[in-house]
Amino acid sequence: MESSSNCNLRASSSESRGALIVLEGLDRSGKTSQSSRLLSYLAGLGHSTELWRFPDRSTSVGQMISAYLSNKSHLDDRTIHLLFSANRWEKRSLMETQLKNGTTLVVDRYSYSGVAFSSAKGLDIEWCKAPEVGLLAPDIVLYLDIPPEKAAERGGYGGERYEQLEFQKKVAKCYQALCDSSWKVIDACQPIEDIEKQLQDAVLDHVMACERGRPLSYLWPR
């Protein structure tokens, strides 16, 4: 019995898969720009790769989130938190399918945005993490680190709800509380091309390890 379950473990841990790569950071830290560049880089090396982003505004849950972010609707803080989480859960099984098919996913914002933005409003961090438990854990989190004042200087802070300097300062502190060994922190004040190169260097080992059969893991890793 024991030896057969060990065999199963070995079998499942040697299945090749794609890597789950997440980009996180404050508004205007460069996540979307760098996600596209990373996608092109990995695709150019011949890896099957897709670009994902959260919130995914194309779903009905995503449309409720979009209306909230653009101040067209008002929702209680816990309600919107759970909608952001639901928006990830509705994509979870597709995410697993794609990874198991060998596709690497470059994901622009994930559960860390969910927890950082909601806990910045004063919600308990453990309460914020709870609905994320069981989602797939990233193989690496690329955190684009920028002082909130510098991010604000990049312009483009427009109508969306969280695009305010004082709030972004609180979010930055909340992100710090989430940083663990799966994170690679990159100075996001550098030139775009320098950051791009550092991200490329950071992901390759993970992509290869996943191709060699690193098992999937789940939030939140200990």
Give the one residue of 17, 21, 24, 30 binding ligand Z5A; rule: CB under 6 A: 30
Residue 147, SS3 per DSSP: coil
Tokens of 109: 């914002």
State the binding partner of 29 from Mg ion, ligand Z5A, none, CB within 5 to 8 A by kind: ligand Z5A
Residue 116, SS3 per DSSP: helix
Instruction: Name the minimum Å distance from CB 216 to Mg ion.
Output: 26
Rounded distance between C-alpha atoms, residue 54 and residue 88, angstroms: 7
User: How many Cα atoms sit within 13 Å of 38 on the Cβ side?
Assistant: 30
Could you tell me how many residues of this chain bind ligand Z5A (CB under 6 A)? 25
Q: Which stretch binds Mg ion (CB under 5 A): 32-40, 122-130, 148-156, 193-201?
A: 32-40
Element holding 49 (H helix, E strand): strand 49-53
Q: To which residue do tokens 């909601």 refer?
A: 118
Cβ atoms of residues 39 and 92 within 8 Å = no
Q: Which is nearer to Mg ion, 195 or 210 (CB)?
A: 195
| Edge-to-edge strands, sheet with 183-187 | 49-53, 104-108, 20-25, 140-145, 183-187
Give the one residue of 41, 52, 68, 117 binding ligand Z5A; rule: CB under 6 A: 117
Cβ atoms of residues 162 and 117 within 8 Å = yes
173-202 positions binding Mg ion, by CB under 5 A: none
Q: Please give the C-alpha separations between residue 182 and each of 100, 160, 163, in angstroms, as whole numbers.
A: 20, 30, 27
* Residues recorded for the chain: 222
183 contacts ligand Z5A (rule: CB under 6 A): no
Q: Which stretch binds Mg ion (CB under 5 A): 25-33, 43-51, 88-96, 142-150?
A: 25-33
68-107 positions binding ligand Z5A, by CB under 6 A: 69, 84
Rounded distance between C-alpha atoms, residue 137 and residue 63, angstroms: 25
Q: Which is nearer to ligand Z5A, 57 or 214 (CB)?
A: 57
Q: Which is nearer to Mg ion, 39 or 210 (CB)?
A: 39
State the binding partner of 162 from Mg ion, ligand Z5A, none, CB within 5 to 8 A by kind: ligand Z5A
Q: Which is nearer to Mg ion, 57 or 78 (CB)?
A: 57
Binding site for ligand Z5A (CB under 6 A): 25, 27-33, 54-55, 69, 84, 109, 113-114, 117, 154, 156, 160, 162-163, 188, 191-192, 195
Q: Which residues would be at the binding site for Mg ion (CB under 5 A)?
A: 31-32
